[in-house]
Amino acid sequence: MSLPPIDIGLALAGLACGALLVWPRLVRARLWRASITPLASIIGSGFLILGPILTDSFGTWGIAAMALLCLAGYLFGAAIRYNIAQIEDGHHESPLSRHLERIASWALAFAYVISVAYYLNLFGAFAARIFGAPSGELARLITSGAYGLILVAGLTKGFALLERMEQLTVSIKLVIIAALIGALTVHAGIEWDHGTLAQSGTKLGPLAALQLMFGLVITVQGFETSRYLGAHYSAPERQTSMKLAQGIASGIYLVYVVLLATSFASGSFTLTETAIIDIMRTVSAVLGPLLIVAALSAQFSAAVADTNGAGGLVAELTHARFGMKPTYLLLIGAGLALTWLADVFQIVSYASRAFAFYYAIQSALAAIRARSAGASRLRIAGYAALGLLGLAAALFGTSVES
């Protein structure tokens, strides 16, 4: 019995990606190792919910929306890359920039708290699908259990084991994403041959569309992790690796959304946090279980990384007066409150606004440092404009259900 063409495309893409990820020359490449952390952060859980949200809300125009999100992420990344270079140089720091840097670090620690809730609530939602139809109550119970596991690990120094698991989960996630794109490519080719490719319009007016885009910043977030890898990589390496990670992630996101938005029309599926499973089951029966595995691995590893990141940041900012373990307790408490008081799409919006505020501060810092360094007026104005854009996203971003 021969395999369907879609399953063949799925298998070939997954195997090719897996072979590439274990290629010794790539594994040993320093630039690739530096790019793995930001790449894994960008192509995280956002990948699973972003496609259905854009397709349902924007129709075929979701392709343009995805391009704008990637562009915004790249520009915010440019501001952070400039800050990396200026901090390394160290000649243009002022009391104001040092004060803003501290505020930015606190903002990032706060953003991590919300992002952990985002990751683990998606973890719960996808895990609940193992037991059948979506169940909000079951998903919240699973999320609460995951928080408990992370808390126990953090309090008993069990993070070392969980962090080692992260390297494996990143590879699993990338292989499954490659398989998904392979399957969608064959599916779109069949639709093209039959003349049934979808085309649909947006449900939203210009203002509502812009506010929703602001609320989706979290889905292209993650590149800022390069900013904090100074103990392992030089400033030029971190700048180049961030560009590489953002370039690869943008290419994957755009191909994914192009294939999804032209294969499925707006309103042709029910939008939930796990809608991608139902959509992909119509493409291949194999994809549903694979996506659950990808979701569970991606969400849990990302939650562990951000929990550790929040604990480390708070300890550093308070000069170890407030340690990592008390931070874990506060983080888990806040996350459980979000879990039981908000839905996943609301948490996505909250996390986006928190990261947008962090990007606004980083952009303001870039403008201040550029002015001190005697940079061109165009560069200074560009960073200042990015700061205003980040502030607008922090203030006006909305969830998909608003």
- pLDDT tens for 220-278 read 887 887 777 776 788 888 888 889 989 988 998 999 899 888 888 887 788 887 788 88
Say which amino acid occupies 80: I
Q: What pLDDT is stored for residue 402 in this prediction?
A: 45
Q: What pLDDT is stored for residue 378 in this prediction?
A: 92
Instruction: For residues 170 and 190, give the distance between their C-alpha atoms in angstroms, rounded to a whole number.
Output: 31
User: What would the mean pLDDT of 133-146 be, rounded to a whole number?
Assistant: 81
pLDDT at 159 over 60: no
Query: Residue 176 corresponds to which tokens in the numbers above?
Result: 């499954």
Instruction: For residues 121 and 108, give the distance between their C-alpha atoms in angstroms, rounded to a whole number.
Output: 20
Instruction: For residues 311 and 174, give the distance between their C-alpha atoms in angstroms, rounded to a whole number.
Output: 27
pLDDT at 41 over 70: yes
Domain ranges across the chain: 5-396
Q: What pLDDT is stored for residue 78 in this prediction?
A: 92
Instruction: For residues 258 and 172, give the distance between their C-alpha atoms in angstroms, rounded to a whole number.
Output: 23
Cβ–Cβ < 8 Å for 36, 168: no
Q: What own/partner pairs with CB < 8 Å and gap ≥ 24 does 346-349 have?
A: 346/399, 346/401, 347/114, 347/117, 347/118, 347/121, 348/49, 348/118, 348/215, 348/216, 348/218, 348/219, 348/399, 348/400, 349/215, 349/397, 349/398, 349/399, 349/400, 349/402
CATH topology of domain 5-396: Amino acid/polyamine transporter I (1.20.1740)
Summary mean pLDDT of the chain: 82
How does pLDDT run across 340-383, given as a tens digit for each residue?
888 888 888 888 888 889 999 999 999 998 888 888 889 999 99
How does pLDDT run across 108-119, given as a tens digit for each residue?
888 888 888 888
Percentage above 90 pLDDT, the chain: 13
pLDDT at 132 over 60: yes
Say which amino acid occupies 284: S
pLDDT at 281 over 50: yes
- pLDDT band of residue 389 (cuts 50, 70, 90) is very high
Q: What pLDDT is stored for residue 160 in this prediction?
A: 59
Lowest average pLDDT, out of 163-172, 203-212, 319-328, goes to 163-172
Residue closest to 315 by CA, chosen among 333, 300, 328: 328
Q: What pTM, to 2 d.p., does this model score?
A: 0.86
Cβ–Cβ < 8 Å for 240, 39: no
